[in-house]
Amino acid sequence: MLSHYLKVAIRSIRGTPLTSAACVLTLSLGFACFLTAYAFVTFWSQAESSFPNSDRTYVLTTSIASRGGGFSSGVSTRSSELLAEYLRIDFPQLEGVARAVPIGGETIVSAEGVGDRLAAVAVDGEFLEIFDLPFARGDSRNALNEPRSVVLVEDYAARLYGGEDPLGRSVLIDQSVEATVTGVIREVPEPSHMGRSSAARLRFDMLTSMDVLEALRSADPARQPPHWLMTPALTYLLLPEDHSLHAKELVGALSAFVTRRVPDTILDTMSYALKVIPVRQLLVGDVDAALFPAVTQASVTGVLTTLALLVLAVAAVNAAGLATGKSIRRARELGLRMTLGASRMQITLQYLIEAAILTGAGLFLALAAFLIWRPALERLWGADLALALISSPKVWALVAAVAASVTFAAGIYPAILSSRLMPRKNAGILGRRSLPSRSAALLVGAQFAVAGFLGIVVCVVLMQNATLRRLGPAAHDDRIVLIENRSHLTGVPPEAVRESLGGIPGIESVTEVMGLPWAGLYVNLLGTAPAGPEVPAQRVAARYIGLDYFSVFGIELLAGRVFEPDRGDDVWGNDRPLNVVVDRELVRRFGLGTPPSAIGKTLYIGSQPIQVVGVVETNPFSLTVSEGMLYRLGVGPEHQIAVRIRRDDLSAAIERIDAAWASLAPGVAINRHFIDDLFGGAYAPFRRVGLAFGALGVIAMAVCAFGLLGMATLVAGRRMREIGVRKTLGATTRSMVLMLVANLTTPIVVANLIAWPAAWIAGQRYLDLFGSGVALSPLPFVSTLVATVLLAWAVVCGRVVRAARVRPADVLRLE
């Protein structure tokens, strides 16, 4: 019996090669999207699986907020360094407590005349007990228990010491602290939140014992000592193997721990909350933070899975529509089979077997497509997708379940529809109402509702990305150079570098800057009156800058003045208000009127008065929501140098900068970057979002285009008799084409209109992430509607024209 079903199914597929090929292609696209999304989700879910203790390792999270409601840090996976010692005392059940504190991503390390810059992290000795790192040399458990000890990643050990054994050799860190190499490790297995991949939270080329960081702080006054409100550390907690302490119990006890250990001077003004999360959630949490910086509720795994399932659902509905269209040609066959005794169950089973064959073919093509584009995706996202699919035992069971679901969805509708037709209607010419038009229109409408939603969201994402590129340095500030100058290493204060570079030909302006224009901000609590219970302060960003900052970064002055070198009152003094420059958004937020009317207004940081002397345009480089910004004149040893160069003298000016630096700090190589390159790295996550949404949108549109073939076949076949009668009564081919096109266009237009509200909400939430967001105009909605309608017309044109040109005699001769 099964062989008979298979023979009939293959004969049916061979009888309609184009429709069957379209069905296979749409299913393959849907499966390919699902497999790719699931590979990413699986990769991120396997984080830390190479470490035996990962299932019982947790990371401490911190949430700090002012009791007046003006400031909240949100939930951070960083914590104060001071907590670890008290955790060891108060929770003796914990098998391990270890801190990891970044020393610096460009730490200067030298050994035996060879120097390099690398990412260094200081850790407690218990770190190696919690994480079984892949040691190539040294004691994997005790390598960092000795004073002033260092563990190097293998390739950096080779750079510093050549082919010789580095164990026991000395290394000089930041030209001030000498340590001893006690271990060498290989690359940390992926996926992991640590190591050297682009997605790693704890990136390192060198691990040091914690006393190395303490020595560096002693040698450099700019390195601040640990504080309860400073949270630079990742604090790892290893729960006991005998389950004597569970994560929920630990979280419940942390509230009393905070009350007991955090000083009252902090708890009187700030709420301080501690919780824990599994270490295996860190990697995907970092991906979420990069792609959705202001919406912590959003999850990249959830978004990817949802969108991929939507495309797969569209493909399944499409396959059902194509199968329904094919059923028109098989109406007489089905009628004869039912007349000869075939049951509805047998007809349904026949359709399901045909759907299973097409689904299997689509899945095979999807696997081939996945293998083709996998290398490009891995380079873009830094994820080993093949490993994710192969190593997960649940993958193929899930794929089989999804394939079965798609088979059922693609085969059950045409099966039930055809099995319910009366034999007397199928045995003759197909009547006008033999297949319900509303159901077919609903199938196509559902596809285009999803495709329209994705199309609008794609347009919004691409428009916002274009705005970021236009406003960012990559477009109009590609001649700004940022020079790292850590004065405690170079011995040259930022003011000296600024003075030396200011007289170089080809340089337009020089300034000091703490961090990049889109990062490195302080947070101040600002109010319109001195802080108090009845005057809640609001959170604003603050930036300490040098002279000529606005000139270097091209930020427009709207009113008042900027900081001037001959104005002593721009520098803060106890006997007068602090002069500040604010941006347009802060003026609007605090109700200061227009930019000119804000000049001279007084605001308060706590009880300290500040006076507005200038208003500038809102930071054009902001990648996230702007809550207002104030600029304060102030330069410290942690400031870097930013230089604007004349475009017609770029190469020569760079050479002069290098020469000037060599004269200032002959023992330290210059570390400079064009700011547009740095912006490109910050912009990369948003570009990835655009590519992902764009790919899904294009695939969804392609699936819908193939689905229209089934709709066109269904409509044309169902109305063939009507067309013959109309043409007999004088209707022209042109009028028939217009009638059929209108019938096909109506469900597409309605589906797009239905998708508009959901697309507006999704687009607006995405734009709310950005300080320089575009306005959500009707353009994405109208353009998507026009594009889908034009696509529909292009796809069905040939099928509709062929149906409209039918000769009445060919249709009506059997009546």
Output the pLDDT for position 95: 92
Output the pLDDT for position 558: 92
Evaluate if residue 321 carries a pLDDT over 80: no
Structure confidence at residue 696 as a pLDDT band (50, 70, 90): low
| DSSP classification of residue 593 | -
Output the pLDDT for position 105: 78
**DSSP codes joined into one string, 773-788:** PPP--SHHHHHHHHHH
Evaluate if residue 488 carries a pLDDT over 80: no
Question: What number of residues does the chain have?
Answer: 815
Evaluate if residue 180 carries a pLDDT over 90: yes
Average pLDDT over residues 398-410: 77
516 vs 173, more confident: 173
Q: Would you call the peptide bond into 191 cis, given omega within 30 degrees of 0 as the criterion?
A: yes
Output the pLDDT for position 58: 95
Q: What dihedral do alpha carbons 696, 701, 706, 711 form, nearest 10°?
A: 130
Structure confidence at residue 380 as a pLDDT band (50, 70, 90): low
Read off the tokens for 231.
Answer: 């949270």
Evaluate if residue 436 carries a pLDDT over 50: no
Structure confidence at residue 472 as a pLDDT band (50, 70, 90): low
Report helix, strand and coil shares of the chain as percent, to nearest 5: 55, 20, 30
Average pLDDT over residues 687-715: 67
**DSSP codes joined into one string, 89-113:** HH-TT-SEEEEEEEEEEEEEEEETT
Evaluate if residue 555 carries a pLDDT over 50: yes
CA distance 810 to 394: 55
Evaluate if residue 435 carries a pLDDT over 50: no
Structure confidence at residue 487 as a pLDDT band (50, 70, 90): low
CA distance 378 to 256: 45
382 vs 206, more confident: 206
CA distance 110 to 117: 9
Structure confidence at residue 428 as a pLDDT band (50, 70, 90): very low
Side-chain half-sphere CA neighbours of 1 within 13 A: 4
Evaluate if residue 459 carries a pLDDT over 50: yes
Output the pLDDT for position 424: 45
Contact predicate 460/776, CB 8 Å: yes
Helices 282-291, 675-718: crossing angle, 10 deg rounding: 90
Share of the chain above pLDDT 70, in %: 70
Instruction: Out of 244-253, 398-407, 666-675, 691-700, give the one with best mean pLDDT.
Output: 244-253
Residue linked to tokens 């290493």? 489
Output the pLDDT for position 432: 39
Least confident residue range of 361-365, 413-417, 468-472: 468-472
Least confident residue range of 255-269, 329-343, 438-452, 752-766: 329-343
Evaluate if residue 814 carries a pLDDT over 80: no
Evaluate if residue 601 carries a pLDDT over 50: yes
Determine the 3-state secondary structure of 609 from DSSP: strand
Helices 675-718, 733-767: crossing angle, 10 deg rounding: 150
Evaluate if residue 30 carries a pLDDT over 60: yes
Output the pLDDT for position 229: 80
Residue ranges of domains in the chain:
54-288, 436-473+679-815, 475-678
Contact predicate 200/194, CB 8 Å: yes
Backbone angles phi, psi at 321, to 5 degrees: -65, -40
Among candidate residues 183, 197, 171, 179, the one with its CA nearest the CA of residue 116: 171
pTM for the whole structure: 0.65
Instruction: Out of 143-157, 275-289, 777-791, 798-812, give the one with best mean pLDDT.
Output: 143-157
